[in-house]
Amino acid sequence: MISFKINNIPTLFIKGYTPADTDTIVGFVKKVGEPTGDSVADSVLFIDTPATLHTVAAVRKLKAEGYRVVFKDHHGIEAEPRNEVEKNREIAVSELRKLLGKDCNITVRSLHPACSTLVKVGEFKNALAIIADPDADGLTAAMKAAGLSYPELDEDAAKLDGQPSLQVTGTYISQLLAKGVATLPPTDPRNPASRDKAKSQLFSQWVLAVQGNADALANLKKGEAAYDTAIKLSQELAENAREVAPGVMLVDVMDRLGFDEGTLQVLLEQKPNCKITVVRKGIGPIAALNGVQYSLAVAKSCQPGLDIRDLLPSQFETGPEAGIISNVSFLLHVSQPVWEKQIMPAFKNLK
């Protein structure tokens, strides 16, 4: 759990994925303050947090306690729901619209690549609390809502929330955040707090650096050196990539640590005829259960036009246990059995 004040507003970074997350959100807000009957001072902004049944439960509890909840997000489903997660997303979105009315603005990523574009600078500077997605998009959107911004923030946020190859292409300050995120310790199921602790430090340092704090900026620059080392390792790995199907470039990084996935992806995409990049790795939510995870991404030049979920059956189970995770059309993560039984044969059907 990551929380700190942004421009004096207590901000909690969390995904509402479990009943415990519901309790954490409600507990956080209640600890910050009791409702007073003032619609501004009682406002709790949810921003960039995907609508789930657990976020709905948190919103419902907060409303019942007398808080005003404003929900702004860009994880709406763009087409027909294709799996349980997407079906539940649609249910959760319609519940939130019913509960919140005009205080609910859930849109789609193609219209709002960054959630910062859903708020005006300082629109929630007198709010009680902010609940944000624990990533760079949630951070930048929460900052802008709280009244801390800079001219290029929206464009930076869209890049930070885009595919890995875009993430380090923003302004210098934005690059420092992207590079910091890229070199965070990986999610370790045996020590889940280690990544959160490092991320919390990075986020809070970055908020200070944006405000011109020299020490924070110096700390972020130290992180840049670690990133440079990661770039060199990525270059070595890219040299060992194999074309496993026409236009599909795979690199195995199972025993490698400290490389940068965004850079690796860019280097793979630069190989002749590359349509899809694949990284076979030992970290990630599927790898945490099965030991191995294949992370597939559509090369930038093939987007839009190629929906990577077309490699899957029309209805599919999703989640780490099912060995399939895909939230957007250009990214897909699968287990070793799904890779062998489903994905490899399906490459034949790629146009």
Binding test (CB under 5 A) with Mn ion, winner from 21, 103, 137, 154: 137
Q: How far is the CB of 250 from Mn ion (least distance, A)?
A: 28
Amino acid, res. 208: L
Q: How far is the CB of 175 from Mn ion (least distance, A)?
A: 18
Place of tokens 């439960």: 57
| Helix extents (H) in 12-171 | 19-32, 53-65, 84-100, 136-146, 153-160, 164-167
9 vs 158 by CB, closer to Mn ion: 158
Considering only residues 97-136, where is the footprint of Mn ion by CB under 5 A? none
Report the C-alpha gap between 34 and 331 in whole angstroms.
42
Report the C-alpha gap between 258 and 182 in whole angstroms.
9
Q: How far is the CB of 228 from Mn ion (least distance, A)?
A: 27
Return the structure tokens found at 103. 């205080």
Binding test (CB under 5 A) with Mn ion, winner from 11, 44, 45, 48: 48
Q: How far is the CB of 79 from Mn ion (least distance, A)?
A: 18
145 vs 338 by CB, closer to Mn ion: 145
Collect all residues with Cβ–Cβ distance below 8 Å to 232 and sequence separation of at least 6: none
In this structure, what are the phi and psi dihedrals at residue 249, rounded to the nearest 5 degrees?
A: -105, 120
259 vs 330 by CB, closer to Mn ion: 330
Amino acid, res. 40: V
Q: How far is the CB of 236 from Mn ion (least distance, A)?
A: 32
Size of the site for Mn ion (CB under 5 A): 3
Q: Is the peptide bond before 189 cis (omega within 30 degrees of 0)?
A: no
Considering only residues 300-319, where is the footprint of Mn ion by CB under 5 A? none
What mask, x for binding Mn ion by CB under 5 A, covers residues 141 to 170?
Answer: --------------------x---------
Q: How far is the CB of 159 from Mn ion (least distance, A)?
A: 12
> With binding defined as CB under 5 A, does residue 73 bind Mn ion?
no
109 vs 275 by CB, closer to Mn ion: 109
Q: At what angle do helices 153-160 and 136-146 cross, to 10 degrees?
A: 160
- C-alpha neighbours within 13 Å on the C-beta side of residue 304: 3
Taking contact as CB under 5 A, which single stretch among the options 43-51, 78-86, 202-210, 229-237 is the one that binds Mn ion? Answer: 43-51
103 vs 161 by CB, closer to Mn ion: 161
Taking contact as CB under 5 A, which single stretch among the options 19-27, 41-49, 79-87, 311-319 is the one that binds Mn ion? Answer: 41-49
Which residue minimizes CB distance to Mn ion?
Answer: 137
Collect all residues with Cβ–Cβ distance below 8 Å to 29 and sequence separation of at least 6: 44, 62, 67, 128, 129, 131
Query: How much is the CA Rg of the chain, to the nearest whole Å?
Result: 20
Q: How far is the CB of 114 from Mn ion (least distance, A)?
A: 7
Q: How far is the CB of 286 from Mn ion (least distance, A)?
A: 21
Amino acid, res. 53: L
Residues that bind Mn ion (CB under 5 A): 48, 137, 161
